[in-house]
C-alpha cells in the first residue's frame, strides 16, 4: 500500500481537543505523523491537497440497516457500505432485523465474512436480544459476544417483556455488552403512522403518541439502574425522553442515547410536503421536541448521532400511509442535513463532529481498535469534507439502493469530499485529485 499524504487541511479531532491546519502522513493504513512542515516520505506516496477542507476521524454509525441477508432488493452490504463511504462513514453497526435474523453464530459470521469480501468499510453486526426477535427468549449474548459482537438489539421491535429486558441487561453487565432498545409501547402506537398531534388530526391519520416512547425509556432506564447493565436508547425523538435520560444520568445509570439527523432537523410538518417519504418510526415530532433534542445533544444528555439508515424499494413507499414502510435512506444525506444546524448557529462544528466520531467511539471502547481519533498509531479512518459546499440531493445518484428520502431536490450546504478507510481511499468527490509525490 502506498503512503498517503494529506496536505494543508484543517484537522479537527474533538476527542483530542485538536483543531489546527496541518499535514498528515499515513503509512500501511496507520496514521504515523500529524503536524506542520514537510511530512512527505522519501519513497513515492499519493497526495491529497486539502486546503480549505476539514479533515476529521471517520464517522461511526451505531445504528443502520444493511438489509442483507434476506432483503437484498432494499440494500446489500456492498451497496450499503458504499453509501456509507459517500456519507463519510468508516464504521457502521448493522441491525439484526434480517432474514434470518442475527441471533446465532452462523448468521453473524456470515455477515462478517460478506463484509470482509464485499464491504468497503468496517461492518460490525448487532446481535438480536431475543431469539428470532420474537420477544420470547433471550439469545446467548455471551456466546455471541465471543464472535466480536458488542451490541444487541431487536431493532424494529421493542422488547415488550420487562423480565426479558432485565435478563438482557444482566447479561450486558456480566459480559460488558451494550443493549440497544427501540423504545415503543406498541399498544399505544397500534395503527399509528405519524406523530399524534396537530398534523395527524389535520390529515385524519392515526397518530403515535410521545408517551409510547417515553414509557419504555423510563422502564429501560429503571431496569438498567437495578441491574447495572448498559442500555442505549435508540432514535430518541421526544422532549420527555430527553428529560428522562437526563435524570437517569444524574443518578449514575449506565444509559446512553442517540438521535437521528431527521429527528434533529425535520418536524411533523414535513409529512404534508413529502408524504410517505417522511414516514419514520419513531415519527417526526414537533418543533418543541427538536429544540429539546438539540439542547440535549449539546448538553451531553444525548451522546451521539446515528442515522437509522432504513433503505426501501420504491414499492415499499408507495400507496397510502397505512401500507407504506417506515424509514429514510439516510447515510448519504446525514452530514449535509446536519450541517444546516451548524450554519444556523444551533451547533458548533466541533460538537457535530464529536457526535459522529469521538462520541460513538467512547461508547464502543477499544474492542475494535482505536476508532474515532486522529491520534498517531490509530487506524487511518478519515473523513474529509467541505463545510461550505452546496449540493443538490438527487436520490437517483445515491449509491444506496434505497432512494427513499424527504430531502429529494433539497440544496444542502456541507459535503463529504473523500473517505479513507484503513489508509485506502474508498470514496472521493470528482473534484478531489490524488497526485503522486
Looking at residue 319, its pLDDT comes to 86
Whole-number pLDDT of residue 42: 65
Active-site residue (options: 13, 61, 155, 308): 308
Tell me the three cell numbers of residue 52.
480549505
Tell me: pLDDT of 292 over 80: yes
How confident is the model over 27-34, as a mean pLDDT? 96
Q: What value does the mean pLDDT take over residues 423-430?
A: 97
| DSSP-assigned states of every residue in 16-65 | GTEEEEEEEEEETTEEEEEESS----SS-EEEEE-TT-EEEEPEEEEEE-
Strand, coil or helix: what is 124? strand
pLDDT tops 90 at residue 436: no
pLDDT digits (tens, 9 = 90+) for 217-259: 999 999 999 999 999 999 999 999 999 999 999 999 999 999 9
Q: Write out pLDDT tens, residues 315-335.
A: 999 989 999 999 999 999 999
Whole-angstrom Cα distance, residue 302 to residue 170? Answer: 23
| Among 41-45, 106-110, 114-118, 155-159, the least confident range | 41-45
Instruction: List the end-to-end C-alpha distance of the chain, in Å, as a whole number.
Output: 15
Q: What percent of the chain has pLDDT over 70?
A: 100
Q: What is the pLDDT of residues 364-394, one digit of tens each?
A: 999 999 999 999 999 999 999 999 999 999 9
Q: For the residues 119-141, what does the mean pLDDT come to?
A: 97
Inter-residue contact 169 to 181 (CB < 8 Å): no
Query: Residue 111's pLDDT is what?
Result: 98
CA 388 to chain CA centroid, nearest Å = 22
pLDDT in tens, 190-222: 999 999 999 999 999 999 999 999 999 999 999
Query: Which are the contacts of 312, defined by CB distance < 8 A and separation ≥ 6?
Result: 74, 325, 327, 329, 402, 404
Is position 154 annotated as part of the catalytic site?
no
pLDDT at 348: 98
| Arithmetic mean of pLDDT, 157-168 | 97
With contact defined as beta carbons under 8 Å apart, do 184 and 155 qualify?
no
Residue 147 has pLDDT above 70, yes or no: yes
Q: What is the pLDDT of residue 402?
A: 98
Three-state DSSP state, 262: helix
pLDDT of residue 307: 98
Backbone phi, psi, residue 129, to 5°: -75, -45
Rounded mean pLDDT, 290-306 = 98
Amino acid at each position: 500500500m502506498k503512503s498517503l499524504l494529506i496536505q494543508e487541511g484543517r484537522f479537527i479531532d474533538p476527542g483530542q481537543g485538536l483543531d489546527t491546519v496541518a499535514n498528515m502522513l499515513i503509512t500501511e493504513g496507520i496514521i504515523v505523523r500529524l503536524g506542520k512542515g514537510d511530512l512527505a516520505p522519501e519513497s513515492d506516496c499519493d497526495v491529497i491537497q486539502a486546503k480549505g477542507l476539514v479533515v476529521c476521524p471517520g464517522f461511526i454509525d451505531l445504528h443502520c440497516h444493511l438489509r442483507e441477508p434476506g432483503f437484498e432488493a432494499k440494500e446489500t452490504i456492498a451497496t450499503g457500505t458504499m453509501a456509507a463511504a459517500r456519507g463519510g462513514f468508516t464504521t457502521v453497526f448493522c441491525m439484526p432485523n434480517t432474514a434470518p435474523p442475527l441471533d446465532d453464530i452462523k448468521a453473524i459470521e456470515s455477515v462478517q465474512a460478506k463484509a470482509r469480501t464485499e464491504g468497503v468499510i468496517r461492518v460490525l453486526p448487532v446481535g438480536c436480544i431475543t431469539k428470532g426477535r420474537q420477544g420470547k427468549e433471550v439469545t446467548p449474548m455471551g456466546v455471541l459476544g465471543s464472535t466480536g459482537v458488542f451490541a444487541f438489539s431487536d431493532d424494529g421491535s421493542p422488547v415488550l417483556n420487562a423480565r426479558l429486558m432485565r435478563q438482557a441487561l444482566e447479561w450486558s453487565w456480566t459480559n460488558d455488552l451494550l443493549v440497544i432498545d427501540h423504545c415503543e409501547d406498541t399498544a399505544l402506537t397500534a395503527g399509528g403512522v405519524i406523530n399524534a398531534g396537530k398534523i395527524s388530526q389535520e390529515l385524519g391519520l392515526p397518530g403515535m403518541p410521545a408517551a409510547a416512547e417515553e414509557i419504555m425509556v423510563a422502564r429501560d432506564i429503571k431496569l438498567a439502574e437495578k441491574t447495572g447493565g448498559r442500555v442505549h436508547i435508540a432514535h430518541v425523538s421526544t422532549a420527555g425522553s430527553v428529560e428522562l435520560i437526563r435524570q437517569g444520568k444524574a443518578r449514575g445509570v449506565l444509559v446512553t442515547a442517540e438521535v437521528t439527523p431527521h429527528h434533529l432537523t425535520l418536524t411533523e410538518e414535513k409529512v404534508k410536503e413529502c408524504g410517505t417519504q417522511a414516514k419514520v418510526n419513531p415519527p417526526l415530532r414537533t418543533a418543541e421536541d427538536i429544540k429539546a433534542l438539540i439542547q440535549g445533544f449539546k448538553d451531553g444528555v444525548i451522546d451521539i448521532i446515528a442515522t437509522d439508515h432504513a433503505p426501501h424499494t420504491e414499492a415499499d413507499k408507495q400507496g397510502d400511509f397505512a401500507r407504506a414502510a417506515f424509514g429514510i435512506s439516510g447515510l448519504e444525506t446525514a452530514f449535509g442535513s446536519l450541517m444546516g444546524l451548524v450554519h444556523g448557529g444551533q451547533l458548533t462544528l466541533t460538537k457535530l463532529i464529536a457526535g459522529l466520531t469521538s462520541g460513538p467511539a467512547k461508547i464502543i471502547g477499544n474492542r475494535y481498535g482505536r476508532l474515532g481519533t486522529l491520534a498517531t498509531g490509530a487506524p487511518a479512518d478519515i473523513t474529509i469534507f467541505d463545510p461550505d459546499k452546496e449540493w443538490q440531493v438527487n436520490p437517483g445518484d445515491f449509491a444506496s439502493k434505497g432512494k427513499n428520502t424527504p430531502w429529494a431536490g433539497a440544496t444542502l450546504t456541507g459535503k463529504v469530499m473523500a473517505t479513507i478507510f484503513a489508509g485506502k481511499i474508498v470514496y472521493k468527490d470528482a473534484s478531489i485529485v490524488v497526485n503522486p509525490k
